[in-house]
Chain A
Amino acid sequence: MNARDRILERVRAGLKRPTPVSVARPDRSLAPMARSVAHLLNDFIARAESLQSTVAQVSDLNAVPAAVAQYLQAQGLSRKAVIWPSLKALDWFSCGLTAEARPPVSEDRLGITETFCGIAETGTLLLHSGVDHFSTTSLLPETHVAILRVDRIVERMEQAFALMQSELGQLPRATNFISGPSRTADIEQTIVIGAHGPRRVHIILVG
């Protein structure tokens, strides 16, 4: 017997029965509360802002570069960005931005990504890894700009998982729920924004 067998044997002995052949999948799905898109949007914005994310809204995807430029201007930040390849087609150049479609290195200051979906319950962004979806774009640069389509805001985490199931089939390598800039309270319980990850999370809602 190896460690695995001995551990499982002790579990069976403790529970006083053999390992069940099958156990019904517990059904703990939560039905959405059938709230309007406007409601979800309001909730999402309020909660995202309470987590120190900033939020802007534009009518369509083509207006995103100008909104990014405006944000950078207001914050006094550099206009050099690394972006996901899916955002290459946008006209960054005429808004005065340099956008390189590659994974970031540690020195890159600004990362721009799309978002799989948003979660209204907590103002959370859901991003997942993939060949063209670098996980590091939302992690290494000190500013993360996330583009989120308004019709991709779901109510709760359960619905986000259902959406992943129906569109992706299985979980990607990394599924990251992001709720605001990174933070720590490890010294004297004082909350400080900007621990190891981004110091700023700016969400641009589209639609």
Chain B
Amino acid sequence: MKISSEQFKGNARKQLANEALQSNLSRFGGGFADRRRDAVVKVDDFEALRDRGASIRAEVLENLDYWLLKFEAEAQRRGTQVHWAETGAEANQILLNIARNAGVQRVVKSKSMVSEESGLNEVLTEAGITVTETDLGEYILQLANEPPSHIIAPAIHKSREEVSDLFEKHHGTPRTDDIPALCEEARGQLRPHFLAAEMGVSGGNFLIAETGSVTIVTNEGNGRMVTTLPRVHVAMTGIEKVLPTLEDLSAILRLLPRSATGQDITNYVSILTGVRDEGALDGPQENHVILVDNGRSRLLGGDLHDALRCIRCGACMNHCPVYQNIGGHAYGWVYPGPIGAILTPAFLGLEKALDLPQASTLCAACEVVCPVRIPLPDLMRVLREKELTQGLRPWHEQLSIRLWRWLALHPGLYAFAARWGTRVLRWLAGRDRLLHSLPGLDGWTDGRDMPAPQGETFRDQWRKKQAAERKIIPIRVDQSLPEKTAGLKK
């Protein structure tokens, strides 16, 4: 996928000025948060489920190599071919070889974020293989030639009118703004593709080590189609997606749909193990799993380790005030929102996504809703710190932070600067007590006014408060002594 995470600020500015996008975001963006809230309160103790989910995922990562090898052995025993890819490009090459060896001309795909990482569709298309995305959102974007803007609702940035325009252009059918009619049209268009394709490509929501299975969750049923009808099935997924047992899967499935769409369960959960049984009339005859690293193994044991717990529900972006205002495309790579602000620099390199960890108010809404309790704001702080220590921030920012550090280490000077600073700001603000612009900080004041500090500094207030308390302390100490209190009661 084309990377534009380096231009985050420009992207975000463009998206903020995009009226159609702003209208779509405000109309559809909030729905997920409401639905999640309604689903979560119906469960006896959702917080306990989150604890369970977090510990399952944390334990898997502690023994990731063991569970991957167990998965591999068990999958092979059932006739699945397991491949390992260090990079997205390598994964594409493996898949292309499988397709060529099997004489594949047509591929149907259900949603796979890893294949977005690797840019699989372009590679297959260049090789002369027809690829059709079958998740409705992904299909719409394939027609529009756009990347997804959300990990579970890829076309959330599009209105029905825009979808209608695309369908009219590509299907040559009469225009309709009726959403069920649009879905019906897509169903009709895609059914022949499912039936004709020789190969189905899917992601893998989870790998089950104990049974060598790939688990796929979909609402539309396209995941079932691409793993049932074509004679070859290839699942492409990240190495971190493994779970030890089916009980672990049960526990995680109580979290994923509720956190994602607010459903108690996704319509279809398919656990796929091995190839077509002898004598059976459906199911793939050839089954492959490509385990993709693409930067993941480097995170293990490091300070971003916990990000690998992610189960890709999208709750963090659904609750992020920044994402809700700029949409997913601004983040410039596969994963938007808070998790993207961590995974993009982690996978691509910090220098490729300098502004992403900064694109947060650290309000921690993401952390509060994350089903596996990833400390997202802490991880963003880690990345911010790295940017500074590696000298990757602009010079004026580095200078001002150094200046602030020096000041903070000299308390007397700090108090003096704070006292005079507030006075100067108050004077600059004038009658309406607002600062409309600040020299050197126009990035801040262009979008909003800064209220001038009112009253005394915190330190001055604190000193006064302490002095006042010192006067009353003897009385309070006396009263808090048990024998004295008892005496008073008599």
Contacts and interface: CB of A to CB of B under 8 A. Distances in A.
Interface string B239-264: 10000111111110100000001001
Interface stretch (B95-103, B187-195, B348-356): B187-195
A11 B277 contact: no
Given A7-B239, A176-B270, A187-B163, A30 B301 contact: no
Interface stretch (B57-65, B438-446, B448-456): B57-65
Interface in A117-156: 122, 124, 129-131, 134-136, 139, 156
A178 interface: yes
A122 B134 CA distance: 26
A4 B277 CA distance: 28
B160 A134 contact: no
Interface string A1-14: 01110111011111
Interface in A90-112: 103, 106
A143 B376 CA distance: 44
B69 interface: yes
Contacts of B81: none
Nearest to B85: A3
Contacts of A27: 247
Given A28-B245, A161-B246, A7 B293 contact: yes
Nearest to A173: B283
Interface residues of B, number: 95
B281 A134 contact: yes
A187 B183 contact: yes
Nearest to B273: A171
Given A3-B86, A186-B140, A187-B136, A20 B251 contact: no
Interface string A176-201: 11111111111111101011111000
B36 to A, nearest CB: 13
Contact of A188 (B27, B219, B281, B302): B27
Nearest to B134: A196
A149 B186 CA distance: 36
A30 B227 contact: no
Kindly name the residue among A12, A23, A157, A187 whose own CB sees the greatest number of chain B CB atoms within 10 A: A187
A95 to B, nearest CB: 27
Interface in B178-229: 179-180, 182-184, 187, 190-191, 194-195, 210-211, 213, 219-222, 224-225, 227-229
Nearest to B261: A185
Kindly name the residue among A23, A122, A186, A197 whose own CB sees the greatest number of chain B CB atoms within 10 A: A186
Contacts of A192: 179-180, 183
A45 to B, nearest CB: 15
A183 B279 contact: no
A118 B264 CA distance: 15
Kindly name the residue among A7, A180, A185 whose own CB sees the greatest number of chain B CB atoms within 10 A: A185
Nearest to A2: B84
Contact of B160 (A172, A173, A188): A188
Contact of B268 (A4, A47, A103, A197): A197
A192 B136 CA distance: 11
Interface in B282-314: 282-283, 291, 293, 297-302, 305
Interface in A26-42: 26-30
A187 B283 contact: no
Nearest to A9: B297
Contact of A103 (B159, B261, B281): B281
A6 B84 CA distance: 10
A123 B20 CA distance: 39
Interface stretch (B149-157, B386-394, B417-425, B469-477): B149-157
B31 A189 contact: yes
Given A28-B251, A177-B268, A189-B156, A23 B228 contact: no
A14 B299 contact: yes
B65 A173 contact: no
B220 A183 contact: yes
Contacts of B156: 189
A139 B228 contact: yes
A199 B156 CA distance: 23
B264 A122 contact: yes
B342 interface: no
A185 B105 CA distance: 30
Contacts of A196: 134, 187, 190-191, 194, 220-222, 225
Contacts of A183: 219-220, 267
Nearest to A165: B246
A13 B62 CA distance: 12
B219 A15 contact: no
Interface in B87-123: 90
Interface of B: 24, 27-28, 31-32, 52, 56, 59, 62-69, 84-86, 90, 134-137, 140, 153-156, 158-160, 163, 179-180, 182-184, 187, 190-191, 194-195, 210-211, 213, 219-222, 224-225, 227-229, 239, 244-251, 253, 261, 264-283, 291, 293, 297-302, 305
Counting from the closest, the 10 A-B pairs by CB-CB distance are: A197-B221, A14-B300, A195-B220, A14-B301, A186-B137, A10-B297, A182-B221, A4-B84, A177-B269, A186-B136
25 contacts: A14-B297, A14-B299, A16-B301, A19-B65, A23-B67, A25-B210, A26-B244, A28-B52, A28-B245, A51-B267, A122-B264, A131-B281, A136-B229, A158-B250, A161-B250, A170-B273, A171-B213, A171-B273, A180-B267, A181-B267, A183-B267, A184-B136, A184-B219, A194-B184, A196-B222
Given A15-B62, A15-B63, A161-B250, 5 more contacts: A30-B247, A158-B250, A179-B266, A188-B28, A196-B225
